[in-house]
Chain A
Amino acid sequence: MPTLFAFRLSTYLTLALACLCVSYAEWNVLRQASYFGAVVLALLGLAFWCEGRYELDLSAANRLGFIIGIVAAGWIAVQFVNKNSLIYTLPWPTSLLPYLGPLLMILMPAKLFRPKHTGDWWAMQGIGLVAAGLATAIEDDAVFVVLLGLYAVAGVWSLSLFFYLRVGGLLPPVPRTDPGPMPTILASQVQVERVQFGGHFFGQTLVWVAVAVLLALPLFFLTPRSSAPPWQFGKTRLETGMTTDQAVDLNKAGELQVNREIVYEVRARTRDGSPHLGLPGEQRFRYYTFANYDAGRWQKIASTKQNTVYARGTSVPLEPLVNVVPDFGPDQLDLTFTAKISLPAPVLADPVAWRVGQPAPVSNVADGSLWFQPQDGFFAPRRSTIAKTMSPDYRQLVAFNPPPDRDLGPPFELSVPFLPAGREARPENPLVQLRTVRLPRLRAWSVDFFKRLALTDPVIAGCLGRAIDEPEFQFVPRDYEAVAVRLAAYFNSSADYQYTLKLRRLDLTVDPVEEFLVQTREGHCERFAAATALILRCVGVPTQYVLGYKGCDLDEAGVYTIRQENAHAWVDVLVPRPAPPGFPFAGKPPEELDGQVVVWHWLCIDPTPGTEAEAAAATPGGLAGLWSSAVGFLSDFVVGYNAERRRQIVQSFARWVLQGPGRVVLLAVALLAGLPAVILIARARRQRRPAVAQSGLTWFDRYLALVRKSGLQADPGQTPRESAAAIDRALGTDAASLLVERYYLARFAGRPVAADEAARLDGLVATLNAKLAGRTS
């Protein structure tokens, strides 16, 4: 029987681990909750020490509960007042979830200082479970999974000890219930000595947890995945890929998990309809563009006629609406996109090709209806033609510029006259939006950076020579392209900045881009792109931040697949180029820069280095290697398990069974498992057969078996003597009575049967058997 101490220890440990799970999960979301968790852990320790020594009476406990409720309500009210709190930064009602953590945690010590009955202990376990579940919805990295696993083990351990004490009547029962009779506790002597130390209970717990996990895992793997958008609370894309609540928050830290879920399938055909298998492996597909950066976040701003940079008239016509396609020449490609997950916006091959005066290059496959251009260079389906959450298949006609202009978008006029940075007449001037940087330190750093770069790059040096200082330092438009390209090249090849998926934030008070450039000097594509975009803005170059996908896989059927792991970020830079001959200006005087008529292009630059820093490192061995493998398994098969992974597992298993050694292995497993199953079934059947009562005396046991077999066993309430008398009357003998009387003497009168007498009694049994046999025949 476990001791009360072991039970208390296990329960408090379980609750402490639940608190730890919540504190860890909320560390990056609501830091206050984590600090509060530390306080609760201390209170749990105090409650553990006080258990049995001091207890609050019911009225004092109620008063304490009331005070806690008031404090909690006040704290929540403060959160509502604070406009920067999670209530306003996260969608409602999800934003309330982090606040549940502290409320749950404070319930634990509040209840533990009171006298407790069985129901209270159940309630504590429930609170712990809810807290752990809440934490699971917020966090899922490897460390958290370890904490959760420890919580599960401690919880099962605590529940098993709780069972012993509850059934043994050693805990106060729930008031106003019938607890049943107080049991007498019996144990085999060896066990009495062993269990007082409680060790083997924990060992058994590990076995049960392991069995439960082994039962749960197959169910988990076989469960089909939901088609609803995945939950991304508090993670803000800490795995590769796009999600529905698209937000680019560079303040988050953690290890980015690779997600291999397929996002789109693309079929490419040439103009004559034949499959095109030559899409470059680095092909980009754009998704969202962001223009507004503030406090570590890129935000999308709805395009309006006022803030778009494209000139009116420099666009595709709004009519006709269906079944017409533009003509981009003999190198035109026809791409058909099929979405595999639900995303709120489509992707388009980048750069998106379109011609002034020609129909939109994107249309729905189902009805041929053309998409429209909302005057920001992108195309979107008309609202009347698509379902709310799932875009139908659509086709895009593209024509890529030959190198070196492969990354150059179509030409267009600006909607406003070009002015240097700081001289834009109106704050709502679209160029202002594309140049805004609210980081003074970054501005100074950027100028200094280019000055340092100029020492080794004569092109930059030339650009610096032409740059103007009024009203602020900025490069001249003719140098925008050169500066941007060289900046991207610098980040591509610099040894000072490393690519990594392990995002760090050392100082939350510093802007993440500044921290990236000055302190951490490592990050993933978003940080490189954000830094590039902001540096260029600091020197007067208009940029926008682009999210999308880079790269696609070609399978045997000629289908390109775009996966979440291909998610990427890059920068669009607004650059002037001499206007091509015959460019259809929209009627106003064409823009001239340095005496030349120019048109504008979005130029895509990709500053992200090609490889991850750790890729070159050798695979760690020993414990680190084991940890790495475990984390990888967890990421691929538990946390990151999705429909795509499930499909791969099923396909791999099918291939292994059909083509590999799977059939032989499965057959062997079936045989090995089947044999014990047969044995168990046979044993269960044997045990179901009613056993004959054992008296410990073989001759009497044979008598009982004989009586039972003949159907003459005693009626309920009938004594053996009465039963024997009835048998004798029926058979006309006295053997049964003699046997019973001798049994009584042996069993109750302390007169054991000697060997010779046993033989005589056996003879009586034989006589009875003969009588019974004669009776039935």
Chain B
Amino acid sequence: MSNAPTARTRVRTTRAAWVWVLTAGIITVVGWYKSINLLVLGGYFLLALLAVNLRLAWRASSRLRAVRHATPPAFAGETVTVTADIVNEASFPLTTLVTAEAGANRSAWMFSPLDSGDRKTITARWNFARRGRHALGPLKVDSSYPLGLLHVERQLAADESVLILPLVGKIDLDLFRYWLTRQEAGAGETHRPSRRATPGNGDVRGLRPYRPGDSPREVHWKTAARRNQLFVREYDQTEPMDLVLIVDPWLPAADDPEAVRRLEWVLSLAVSLAVASAVSDSPAELTLIVPGTPPAAFHGRATTTFVRRAFAALAELDGRADVPLVPADFVRPRSNRAARLVLSTRPRGPTAQALRAAGLTCAEVTPDRPPSWFTPPLALAAKNSSR
């Protein structure tokens, strides 16, 4: 939603308009000089048509109103739907063009025509390749009705912006869990995922006697035949893996494209982990800690909505050389039963070291040793395009 702006109306001429004026002028002058009255009248007629064009285009542009809708954050590469309502406030139908652009994204809608009082919703589906806050340029009306010689342009709605989160890669959750259990990422001890028996899918834990209600599909017939008793398979179901993600967005002071790439990799890893958890069968509790003074923490159940809201902090996160340390006392109460991951652009970063020094075990992931359970978005794109 935005306020209707007070932008000035601008008249833009086309090449055709200049040719039109020149032709009208020549016709009028020649006709006047040679007393060919029909030519004089014809020249004035052409100029009058230009005036009619200007008047009608001006009128069409001044009677349109736009109400822009808020655009929720989206991931880079994801189609962003930008909408607005266009209303005709005039007492007559309007024929006009409405345009919107955001960087390389451009969209246009032609109302041909829009009835008096009618409201139409325009939708643009854009794509943003990079994270950050992207300006959604103003909505403009460009009216050149009815001859297209003179364009009257006016801003309908002011600029807005959309927050684009980092690119999402692919996480192999099973591999990740396996990797995590091998890391000292838990509190105090090597974290083993606690297991409980479940009749559902999972690792087969063993067999047990049939109980009423068990699915006949899970009956292990061989054992039943041998033991003359029905036995069903029993599966392990791991508990959801709560995660605490601590981002270390270190960048050297000097411009270094490689370092920037590493930062994007780290941020992408963070959102990928969050999204993978959100879309898994057992979404976990997720905590994102972003260094700062004071550090920011976002905690909640890993749902898509939470991820988009919480990880918005990563959209505009700039790397810096003097990343403040996240105090261990800030992390401790938020990660009692969760695995702690430090996602850093630099190996053996001070954040992980500080946490370990404070007695908090954590796993560190850096671009230098990319884990096998993470496929970065660029690699994914390369793979998809090669198919």
Write out the residue numbers on chain A whose beta carbons fall within 8 Å of the beta carbon of B3. Answer: 690-693, 704, 708, 713
Residue among B31, B47, B97, B133 facing the most chain A CB atoms (10 A cut-off): B31
For chain B, residues 101 to 141, give those with C-beta under 8 angstroms from any C-beta of chain A: 106-115, 118, 120, 122, 133, 135
The answer to the question of A220 belonging to the interface, with a C-beta cut-off of 8 Å to chain B, is: yes
Contact of A228 among B33, B41, B65, B95 (CB under 8 A): B33
B41 touches A204 (CB 8 A): no
Q: Which residues of A contact B133 (CB under 8 A)?
A: 717
Which of A182-190, A437-445, A755-763 participates in binding chain B? A182-190
- Which residues of the partner chain B approach A185 to less than 8 Å between Cβ atoms? 109-110, 112
Residue numbers in B under 8 Å from A330 (CB-CB)? none
Which B residues, 33 to 70, have Cβ-Cβ distances below 8 Å to chain A? Answer: 33-42, 44-45, 47-49, 51-52, 62-63, 65, 67, 70
Alpha-carbon separation in the docked complex, A708 to B145 (Å): 33
Flag if A690 contacts B41 (CB, 8 Å): no
Residue in contact with B146 in the complex, picked from A129, A163, A181, A230, CB distance below 8 Å: A163
User: Does residue A89 face the partner (Cβ distance < 8 Å to B)?
Assistant: no
CB-CB under 8 A from B32, the residues of chain A are 223, 225-226
Q: Which residue of A lies closest to B120 (CB)?
A: A186
Q: For residue A145, which residues in chain B have a CB less than 8 angstroms away from its CB?
A: 38
CB pair B44 A716 closer than 8 Å? no
Given A122-B16, A184-B108, A690-B4, are A642 and B115 also a contact pair (CB < 8 Å)?
A: no
- Bound Cα distance from A16 to B3, whole angstroms: 51
Residue of B nearest to A190 (CB): B115
When the two chains form their complex, are residues B97 and A183 in contact, meaning their CB atoms are under 8 A apart? yes
Q: At the interface with chain B, which of A47-55, A210-218, A357-365?
A: A210-218
Nearest CB in chain A to that of B29: its residue: A226
Is A502 at the interface (CB under 8 A from chain B)? no
A79 within 8 A of B: no
With A183-B109, A208-B52, A223-B32 known as contacts, the answer to whether A716 contacts B148 (CB < 8 A) is no
Q: Are B34 and A230 in contact (CB under 8 A)?
A: yes
Q: Which of A117-165 contact B (CB under 8 A)?
A: 122, 126, 129, 132-133, 136-137, 140, 145, 148, 152, 156, 159-160, 162-164
Q: Which residues of chain B have C-beta atoms less than 8 A from A767's C-beta?
A: none
Q: In the bound complex, do residue A186 and residue B19 qualify as a contact, i.e. CB atoms below 8 Å apart? A: no
Contact assessment for A136 and B67 in the assembled complex, using a CB-CB cutoff below 8 Å? no
Q: Is the CB of A162 within 8 A of B112?
A: no
Q: Is the CB of B36 within 8 A of A716?
A: no
Task: Scan residues 694-720 of chain A and give those whose CB is less than 8 A from a CB of chain B.
Answer: 694-695, 704, 708, 713, 716-717, 719-720
Which of B156-164, B179-187, B284-292, B295-303 lies on the face that meets chain A?
B156-164
Complex contacts, A181 vs chain B, CB 8 Å: 99, 106-108
Interface residues of A in 626-659 (CB under 8 A from B): 638-642
The answer to the question of A180 belonging to the interface, with a C-beta cut-off of 8 Å to chain B, is: yes
A168 CB contact (under 8 Å) in B36, B48, B110? B110
Q: Which residues of A contact B23 (CB under 8 A)?
A: 126, 129
Q: Are A691 and B40 in contact (CB under 8 A)?
A: no
In the bound assembly, the distance between CA atoms of A566 and B363 in angstroms comes to 114
Q: A126-B19, A639-B37, A642-B35 are in contact. Are A183 and B110 (CB under 8 A)?
A: yes
How many residues of A are in contact with the other chain, CB < 8 A?
Answer: 73
Interface residue from B6, B41, B109, B113 paired with A220 (Cβ < 8 Å): B41
Across the interface, B158 reaches (CB within 8 A) one of A132, A163, A716, namely A716
Q: Please report the C-alpha to C-alpha distance between residue A159 and residue B14 in the assembled complex, in whole angstroms.
A: 15
Whole-angstrom distance between the Cβ of B69 and the nearest chain A Cβ: 8
With beta carbons under 8 angstroms apart, the residue of B34, B47, B93 that contacts A231 is: B34
Is B224 interfacial (CB 8 A cutoff)? no
Q: Which residues of A contact B95 (CB under 8 A)?
A: 164
Across-interface contacts of A719 in B (CB, < 8 A): 70
Given contacts A163-B147, A186-B110, whether A693 and B4 have CB atoms under 8 Å apart is yes
**Which residues of B lie under 8 Å from residue A641 when comparing CB positions?**
37
Among A188, A195, A213, A641, find the residue whose CB has the most chain B CB atoms closer than 10 A. A188
B40 near A187: Cβ-Cβ < 8 Å: no
CB distance from A254 to the nearest CB of B (A): 15
- Out of B34, B47, B65, B145, which one reaches A216, CB within 8 Å? B47
Name which residue of chain A comes closest to B32, CB basis.
A226
User: Is A166 at the interface (CB under 8 A from chain B)?
Assistant: yes
Would you call B4 and A140 a contact (CB within 8 A)? no
Chain B residues numbered 6-23 whose CB sits less than 8 Å from any CB in chain A: 6, 16, 19, 23
Choose among A191, A230, A716 the residue that contacts B35 (Cβ–Cβ < 8 A): A230
Q: Which residue in chain B gives the minimum CB-CB distance to A216?
A: B44
A277 partner residues in chain B, CB cutoff 8 A:
none
8 Å CB contact of B38 from A164, A639, A687? A639
How near does chain B come to A744, taking the closest CB pair, in angstroms? 9
Q: Does A669 touch B at the CB level, under 8 Å?
A: no
Q: How far is the CB of B88 from chain A (nearest CB, A)?
A: 8
Would you call A136 and B42 a contact (CB within 8 A)?
yes
Complex CA gap A698/B66 in Å reads: 17
In the complex, A695 Cα to B66 Cα: how many Å? 11
- Provide the bound-state CA to CA distance between A1 and B122, in Å: 18
| Cβ B97 vs Cβ A167 within 8 A | yes
CB atoms of A220 and B4 under 8 A apart: no
A217 surroundings in chain B (CB, below 8 A): 41, 44
User: If A186-B109, A186-B122 touch, does A694 touch B48 (CB 8 Å cutoff)?
Assistant: no
Question: Which residues of the other chain, B, contact A216 by a CB distance below 8 angstroms?
Answer: 41, 44-45, 47-48
A292 to B109, CA, bound (A): 73
Q: Smallest distance from the beta carbon of A6 to chain B beta carbons, Å?
A: 13
Q: Does A219 contact B (CB under 8 A)?
A: yes
Inter-chain contacts of A159 with B (CB < 8 A): 147-148
Q: Say yes or no for B5: interface residue by CB 8 A criterion.
A: yes
Give the distance to chain B from A75, nearest Cβ to Cβ, in Å: 26
Chain B neighbourhood of A182, CB < 8 A:
108
Is B27 an interface residue, CB under 8 A from the partner? yes
Residues of A within 8 A of B70 (CB): 719-720, 748
The chain B residue sitting closest to A161, CB to CB, is B146
| Cα separation A226 to B148 with both chains bound (whole Å) | 34
Nearest-neighbor residue (CB-CB) of B135 within chain A: A717
CA distance A691 to B62 in the complex (A): 12
Given known pairs A216-B44, A717-B161, the reply for A687 and B97 (CB within 8 Å) is: no
Contacts of A713 in B (CB 8 A): 3
Residues of A within 8 A of B16 (CB): 122
Given known pairs A181-B108, A208-B52, A687-B62, the reply for A694 and B67 (CB within 8 Å) is: yes
How near does chain A come to B342, taking the closest CB pair, in angstroms?
Answer: 30
Q: Do A186 and B114 contact each other (CB < 8 Å), given the known contacts A228-B34, A693-B1, A693-B2?
A: yes
How far is it, in angstroms, between the C-alpha of A689 and the C-alpha of B228 when the chains are bound? Answer: 89
For chain A residues 190-238, which have a beta carbon within 8 Å of chain B? 190-191, 195, 204, 208, 211-213, 215-217, 219-220, 223, 225-226, 228-231
Which chain B residues in 154-200 approach chain A with CB under 8 Å?
Answer: 158-161
Chosen A-B contacts, 30 in total, with CB atoms closer than 8 Å, are: A126-B23, A132-B42, A133-B27, A137-B34, A163-B145, A163-B148, A166-B148, A168-B110, A169-B110, A186-B122, A188-B93, A188-B113, A188-B120, A212-B45, A216-B41, A217-B41, A220-B40, A223-B32, A228-B33, A230-B34, A230-B35, A684-B62, A687-B62, A690-B4, A692-B4, A693-B67, A695-B67, A708-B3, A713-B3, A717-B161
Q: Interface on B for A, CB 8 Å cutoff? A: 1-6, 16, 19, 23, 27, 31-42, 44-45, 47-49, 51-52, 62-63, 65, 67, 70, 93, 95, 97, 99, 106-115, 118, 120, 122, 133, 135, 144-148, 158-161
By Cβ-Cβ distance, the 8 closest A-B pairs, closest first, are: A231-B34, A216-B44, A230-B35, A188-B115, A215-B48, A183-B108, A212-B48, A163-B148
A225-B35, A638-B41 known, 4 other contacts, Cβ within 8 Å: A163-B145, A180-B108, A223-B32, A690-B5
